[in-house]
Chains A and B, each alone.
Chain A
Amino acid sequence: MDTQSDARPVLEGPDIARVLTRIAHEIVERAKGADDVVLLGIPTRGVFLARRLAAKLEQITERKVPVGSLDITMYRDDLRMHPPRALARTEIPGDGIDGRLVVLVDDVLFSGRTIRAALDALNDIGRPRAVQLAVLVDRGHRELPIRADYVGKNLPTSLRETVKVQLAEEDGRDTVLLGAKPATQGAQP
């Protein structure tokens, strides 16, 4: 858990609301009205972000935007490096994803491995027209050829730093914290 006393906020509540509004507008623009968009959040915090984005998209387009969740645990490439993790919910909206524009939503983009796993998971669920990625923070250090289509904030970091997103739904407040990794821990993403 993130208890470092030296962690400092890089985005606060109003900033987060603002960048989500911006991303919503970008989605509408790039998806030409967003009428076939399906938002899939990656648990845990990606799901809350996806729901917030959906609400904003509905405000803009005055249409219902399907939103769901995509748990990638079983598709991770580092399963053998940890004890098995508890699974989170995969909830695909009723009409499915075939032929739709799926926008994956996550809180932080780092190595890209989570997104690779998400693409694999999607593959087992259906065949979208296209897949895009929206993240609140891109902290760099990619290990795979993956990039985000919508980025809330580009945050240059060193590998010794940690980025922690807190959202009201889970953590009681909205903030993004940049901290230092305790010296004993490895540089595992």
Chain B
Amino acid sequence: MQRHLISAADLTRDDAVLILDTAEEMARVADRPIKKLPTLRGRTVVNLFFEDSTRTRISFEAAEKRLSADVINFTAKGSSVSKGESLKDTAQTLEAMGVDAVVIRHGASGAPYRLATSGWIDAAVINAGDGTHQHPTQALLDAFTMRRRLVGRDAGLGRDLDGRRITIVGDVLHSRVARSNVDLLHTLGAEVTLVAPPTLLPVGVETWPCEVSYDLDSTLTKSDAVMMLRVQRERMNAAFFPTEREYSRRYGLDGDRMARMPEHAIVMHPGPMVRGMEITAEVADSDRCTVVEQVTNGVSIRMAVLYLLLGGNEPAVTHARTTEEK
């Protein structure tokens, strides 16, 4: 594995499977009376959040604490960042405090990449979502959820998502979740179809390793998992679609549509959901919807990533399952 986790596209198939397998073991820690491991004792991790995202931040924080890392939360609001201090200065301040890893959420696409490659800091950089670029741990937790549900908890160990048909629906244009998922799911052998009105697909999407469709109904029946993306109401004002009603009629997932999905198929959502927009309450609250599971799995995935990047003297070596010499 690389030293940083910036983009889902940087992960090889073996990297990704190792992370999923490791997360499966991490998940079991949550079932124990003491939900804590000593693995990252003495490591300091900063959660550097330039953008509000309580959900992602607490997920990382829970993962870090379960691994016994020292955690520093740095939120841009009300800090020197809002007074014009640059990303570079902030990063170097943290570096000076002896930080081993920076988990960064930033509104600007590429900010984590910049942090990792500009020579400003030595710490490992984990991207917790940058602009409309990438959100690799989200893609990993989604893949984890899919593997558990579609392949099996134990049966899935060591395996990818070969041949599984995944449909991602909604605002692909502004979605880092969609980008990360397309990259990772492709790496894991799944067949991805993006469904959105043409206005919410980026120019250039035709080169992505996936299919593109404007029609939800024709893809639903051929999907093992349907991932609904959040659609912000503000997009309507920028003429991406005429009205909320028209959007949800054409691209929203309701009970009728869900009934047309294969019986084993699941409904996913990265959250937060806009009920009544891309998803109805009936679907959101059904057994087939994995949204709560995804949150739980997020902690396991982030523990796995932290362990594999920071647990040793260098990042994990994929597929060198070193048998120990005694």
Contact = CB atoms under 8 A, between A and B. Distances in A.
Direct touch of chains A and B (CB < 8 A): yes
Given A83-B312, A84-B307, A74 B326 contact: no
Given A1-B323, A84-B308, A74 B313 contact: no
Nearest to B314: A83
B25 A90 contact: yes
A161 to B, nearest CB: 11
Contacts of A139: 326
Contact of B312 (A80, A120, A126, A164): A80
Interface in A68-85: 71, 74-75, 79-85
A189 interface: yes
Interface string B219-252: 0000000000000000000000000000000000
A163 interface: yes
B28 interface: yes
Interface string B300-326: 000000011111111111001111011
B326 A110 contact: yes
A84 B312 contact: yes
Contacts of A163: 326
Given A79-B39, A108-B326, A86 B312 contact: no
Interface stretch (B29-37, B72-80, B106-114, B135-143): B29-37
Interface string B25-65: 11010001110111100000000000000000000000000
A139 B325 CA distance: 12
A114 to B, nearest CB: 8
**Interface size band for B:** 20 to 34
Nearest to A85: B322
A125 B35 CA distance: 9
B145 interface: no
Interface string A86-106: 111110000000000000000
B33 A82 contact: no
A111 to B, nearest CB: 9
Main DSSP-derived SS at the B contact region: loop
Contact of B22 (A87, A124, A162, A164): A87
Given A124-B32, A139-B326, A189-B326, A83 B37 contact: no
Interface core residue of A81, A84, A120 (most chain B CB under 10 Å): A84
Nearest to B34: A124
A124 B313 contact: no
B36 A82 contact: no
Interface residue tally on A, bucketed by range:
20 to 34
B316 A84 contact: yes
Contacts of B312: 79-85
A126 B33 contact: yes
B18 interface: yes
B326 A83 contact: no
A132 interface: no
A126 B34 CA distance: 9
Contacts of B315: 83-84
B317 A83 contact: yes
Nearest to A76: B39
A134 B309 CA distance: 34
A21 interface: no
A74 B39 contact: yes
A163 B325 CA distance: 8
B22 to A, nearest CB: 5
Contacts of B34: 124-125
A35 B322 CA distance: 37
B307 A74 contact: yes
Nearest to A135: B326
A74 B38 contact: yes
A189 B326 CA distance: 6
A120 B25 contact: no
A113 to B, nearest CB: 11
For A71, A86, A110, A189, the residue with the greatest tally of chain B CB atoms inside 10 Å of its CB is A86
Contacts of B22: 86-87
Contacts of B26: 87
5 tightest A-B CB contacts, nearest first = A84-B311, A108-B326, A87-B25, A84-B312, A124-B34
11 contacts: A44-B323, A74-B37, A79-B39, A84-B307, A84-B308, A86-B22, A87-B26, A89-B25, A120-B38, A126-B33, A163-B326
Given A83-B312, A83-B317, 9 more contacts: A82-B313, A84-B307, A84-B316, A85-B312, A85-B321, A86-B316, A124-B33, A124-B36, A125-B33
Interface of B: 18, 21-22, 25-26, 28, 32-34, 36-39, 67, 307-317, 320-323, 325-326
